[in-house]
Amino acid sequence: MSATIQEIRHSAAHLMASAICSLYENVKIDIGPATDDGFYYDFDLDHRLSAEDFPAIEKAIRKLIGAKLPFVREELTREAAQELFKDQPYKLERLADIPEGEPISIYRTGDYVDLCCGPHVEHSGCVGAVKLMSVAGSYFRGDEHNKMLQRVYGIAAASREEVEAILARIEEAKKRDHRKLGKELELFTMSDSVGPGLAHWLPKGARVRIAIEDYWRKEHFRHGYEMLFTPHIGRANLWQTSGHLGFYKDGMFPPMHVTEGEGDKATAEPYYAKPMNCPFHIQAYLAKKYSYRDLPLRFAELGTVYRYEKDGVRHGLFRVRGFTQDDAHIFCAPEKIEEEVRFTVKFCLHILHRFGFHDITAYLSTRPEKAVGDEAKWEQATASLRAALEAEGMAYDVDEGGGAFYGPKIDMKIKDALGREWQLGTIQFDFNLPERFNLTYTGEDGKEHQPYMVHRALLGSLERFFGILIEHYAGAFPTWLAPVQAKVLPITTAQNDVAKETLAKLLAADIRVEGDWSNDKIGAKIRKATLAKIPYMLVIGGREAEAGVVAVRSREKGDLGTMTVEAFIEHIRNETCEAK
């Protein structure tokens, strides 16, 4: 039976730990799991590891691979395990985490032994090749109050060729890194003066964002949504009612205290920056009475929220402290929920396809052991999610018991150009907030009923989605999203007046266009526009100016010949019409 890639990676972590323990003295080991793209292991040792140590460690690993040492599983009593790891304080702490009555297993590989539940490959030879990548600091258990360990990262596969392919993908990912391209293409920046995790959308990035938002809003209106704009802060009692202060306070910024009232009646009222939009959308629902005829009610907002993401978890645009969610909340009568969920799944796919994502997998998360809400509601909600996925012919995996305590959900995950998986869309039932805020509607029987509430996001957040788009397209956005769709390039200054007239016509036609008025030669101008990943270059020399045409160069197809400005406008409109 062939080993899985996760088993190979996990086994490689053990081999690396074995190698490091053999090369250095007084090594204390913690954990070494497989990850989505490799593995790591955390160590406490006197020697400061660096990339200069990797060749010796890799040589020791290759020796272990060549020996084809079996991975042998054993089960021990707690007392025997404590004696075995008496000189390994981190393992003793991990051992204490194992509940009484659960099996305590170890794996032996040659002289190396590790507290581990597996699984592993049959023998070390099944790990064909290992490459160490980097070393970084990591606090024990991720707690900044604990000692910092040395975390060594690596990749592994069944063969050297597979490792080389992984390295090639890693190099390609570095080239596509949204932080690198964001700077080179002048899309966004972060400012230490403002604070970490707070992104500034620069003019070119803002143009992409506006194109995304315009399309997003237009499609929502077409699909029966109403738009909301809600505040950025709210009183503490709102977050107490919603439960955020009870369940999510560590992820919220500290409160600001505002004086309410005057004189003796003045009080310091705490306000919080909103971490989520849900309570505000509920307030919009509570602003009037609804009947069954009004439902489903679909509220949508590009709402900016704030979350206190700590050091070590922030990462470019992927994990920030202030971000804009493409948020929506649907209030629906129970008897209409299956139809509404199907509608929502179809809408989600429609939006993701437009942005170029077609490899999409759904994950259906069902009722956990601890859950709120009537079990019959859970069954109906879960059945509606399942039916919607099957109606759209979507591949999906089931995460039994993986739903939130307040409702089942679907997560939509896309694969980008490098085959990496990203979670974007979410359709999440909520049986908690309607209870907390006492939401009702008047039913056909004239009585008050509680609506089903569904949280729904399509893109996740604009910041994270923008980062994904940058890396998916390597900064070469499709024409409808490109910050600059065309660049006018006069060959000499003699054509500047005609070039400026051309630019004005394109701007009037709502085409995002710039001109290059430098004294550079045309070759240099073309190179600059190419590096900026602009879809079209419009070259104007003496002959073009005299004939009233432009020479069109396409980023994708090369020289398209000459055409009138009007013909080029029609060309771009035809290319981008799906998004118009």
The residues that are catalytic are 278, 307, 325, 327, 329, 409, 455
Interatomic CA distance for residues 14 and 317, integer angstroms = 33
277 Cβ contact list (under 8 Å, min separation 6): 230, 301, 303, 305, 325, 327, 329
Identify residue 166 by its one-letter amino acid code.
I
Q: Which residues contact 303 (CB under 8 A, 6 or more apart)?
A: 228, 230, 274, 277, 280, 324, 325, 327
Closest-CA residue to 7 (of 120, 89, 86, 102): 120
Residue with the two structure tokens 């040589």: 59
Whole-Å CA distances, 372 to 56, 181, 190, 364, 433? 55, 45, 41, 18, 10
> Which run of H or E residues covers position 235?
strand 233-235
List all residues 6 or more positions away from 62 whose beta carbon is below 8 Å from its beta carbon: 130
CB contact at 8 A, 91 and 115 = yes
C-beta of residue 253 within 8 angstroms of C-beta of residue 273 = yes
* Segments of 353-468 assigned E as strands: 360-365, 396-399, 409-415, 421-430, 441-442, 448-449, 452-461
Where helices occur in 317-374 by DSSP H, the ranges are: 337-354
Q: For residue 234, what is the enclosing H or E element? A: strand 233-235
Task: Determine the Cα angle at 445 with ends 441 and 450, to 5°.
Answer: 30
- The structure tokens 């970490």 sit at 196
Residues 6 or more apart whose Cβ sits within 8 Å of residue 232: 273, 274, 304, 306
Given the DSSP bridges, would you call strands 28-29 and 39-44 parallel, antiparallel or unpaired?
antiparallel
